[in-house]
Amino acid sequence: MNMQSQAPLLSVQNLVKNFELRASKGLRKSKRIVQAVSDVSFNVSTGKTLGIVGESGSGKTTVGRSILQLITPTSGRIFFDGQDLTELSFEELRVVRRQMQIVFQDPFASLDPKMTVGTSISEPLVVQGISGDHQDRVAELLDLVGLAPDHARRFPHEFSGGQRQRVGIARALALDPKLIVLDEPVSALDVSIQAGVVNLFGDLQKRLGMSFVFIAHDLSVVRHIADDVAVMYLGKIVEIGNKNAVYNDPSHPYTKALLSAVPLPDPKVERLRHRIMLEGDVPSPVNPPTGCRFRTRCWKATELCAQTEPELVARATGQQSACHFPE
């Protein structure tokens, strides 16, 4: 194995994304800045899955969209296969985009209702200027996601939610990407159907060796599918590492609270379990707290937490966490 193949497929380094909000309050025009993602770094290796979890508005989708350069980061670098995507021209990006795809939550919104499923699936091939009749490839892709070849002639409304999500995945697979960002890919599906789509991701990874960034709010699904997990809070990664370390020995108080809040499908366990109830709400990303961003809801917070922002530090259990008073 040469050095090249040992480098991570994706390396996100010090990613920052601020959104400018132009709000006019009375006569005074004020410019407010949403700090959606603030200095986020992580790596994803070939054939591996990084799960990203965290409160709504913590910046998960913004990270996902930044990876594909669907939005331009305010600063930071995104290395994909050794290339810094933030430095590529539009044309160069188009070529790299073959290798990376994104699948969104709503399988209905992401498919054109007037296009047959086959046309939808082959669209990326056409966009990338790949000529020829794509019928065989479409059939192959449908087969990969567990649908039949004759499904190609049908329209999205003829499919169930789970099937539509499979179509979306087939489309994402069309160009043989090395990386797929999955943004809440099963959240809109019934539990009974979700399981099949989750299995599909596992199978695809085994067969095609691709990497996933799997964004989800369902912590048990992430635990099932991911190798590593990043926990985000208000634009920052507060804890990241091997999923077993993070789930079994959470080090950051927010991770601990999050895990303890997840309802488990077992009445005996649920009724005996100790839960950490977080007080209050997530602060505004326009005006995040000084120091540690979690401190306003943290039961361990001291003066130090307000003054000094904790950095990600490696813990004995293997993961990294950003806390002055880790568990």
Ligand X SMILES: Nc1ncnc2c1ncn2[C@@H]1O[C@H](COP(=O)(O)OP(=O)(O)OP(=O)(O)O)[C@@H](O)[C@H]1O
Q: Are strands 83-84 and 75-80 parallel, antiparallel or unpaired?
A: antiparallel
Least Å distance, CB 255 to other proteins, is 11
Least Å distance, CB 219 to ligand X, is 13
Residues whose CB is less than 8 angstroms from the CB of residue 225 and which lie 6 or more positions away in sequence, other chains included: 49, 51, 198, 201, 202, 212, 214
| End-to-end Cα separation, the chain, in angstroms | 38
In angstroms, rounded to a whole number, what is the distance separating the alpha carbons of residues 52 and 36?
15
Binders in 277-296 for other proteins, by CB under 8 A? 277-278, 280-282
245 part of the interface to other proteins, by CB under 8 A: no
236 part of the interface to ligand X, by CB under 6 A: no
User: Could you tell me how many residues make up the chain?
Assistant: 327
Choice from 50, 258, 292, 312 touching other proteins (CB under 8 A): 258
In angstroms, rounded to a whole number, what is the distance separating the alpha carbons of residues 273 and 292?
28
In angstroms, rounded to a whole number, what is the distance separating the alpha carbons of residues 249 and 256?
9
Q: Which of 46, 244 has the CB closer to other proteins?
A: 244
Q: Which of 146, 161 has the CB closer to ligand X?
A: 161
Least Å distance, CB 197 to other proteins, is 8
Q: Which of 19, 325 has the CB closer to ligand X?
A: 19
Q: Which of 61, 296 has the CB closer to ligand X?
A: 61
253 part of the interface to ligand X, by CB under 6 A: no
101 part of the interface to other proteins, by CB under 8 A: no
Least Å distance, CB 268 to ligand X, is 26
Q: In this structure, are residues 183 and 61 in contact, taking their beta carbons and an 8 Å threshold?
A: yes
Q: In this structure, are residues 40 and 53 in contact, taking their beta carbons and an 8 Å threshold?
A: no
61 part of the interface to Mg ion, by CB under 5 A: yes
Contact region with other proteins (CB under 8 A), list: 5-13, 75-83, 136-144, 259-267: 259-267
What does 160 interact with, of ligand X, other proteins, Mg ion, none (CB < 5 to 8 A by kind)?
A: other proteins
Q: Which residues pair with 201 in a beta bridge?
A: none
Among the residues of 34-116, which ranges form H helices?
Answer: 60-67, 90-97
Contact region with ligand X (CB under 6 A), list: 3-11, 60-68, 126-134, 161-169: 60-68
Count CB atoms within 10 A of the CB of residue 307.
Answer: 12
21 part of the interface to other proteins, by CB under 8 A: no
191 part of the interface to other proteins, by CB under 8 A: yes
Least Å distance, CB 57 to other proteins, is 9
Angle between helices 117-127 and 161-173 (to 10 degrees): 20
Among the residues of 111-157, which ranges form H helices?
Answer: 117-127, 135-144
Rg (CA), the chain: 21
Sole residue written with tokens 């989708």:
61
Residues near ligand X (CB under 6 A): 19, 21, 34, 36, 54, 56-62, 217, 285
Residues near other proteins (CB under 8 A): 55-56, 160-163, 190-196, 198-199, 202, 217, 219-221, 223-224, 257-258, 261-271, 275, 277-278, 280-282
Residues near Mg ion (CB under 5 A): 61
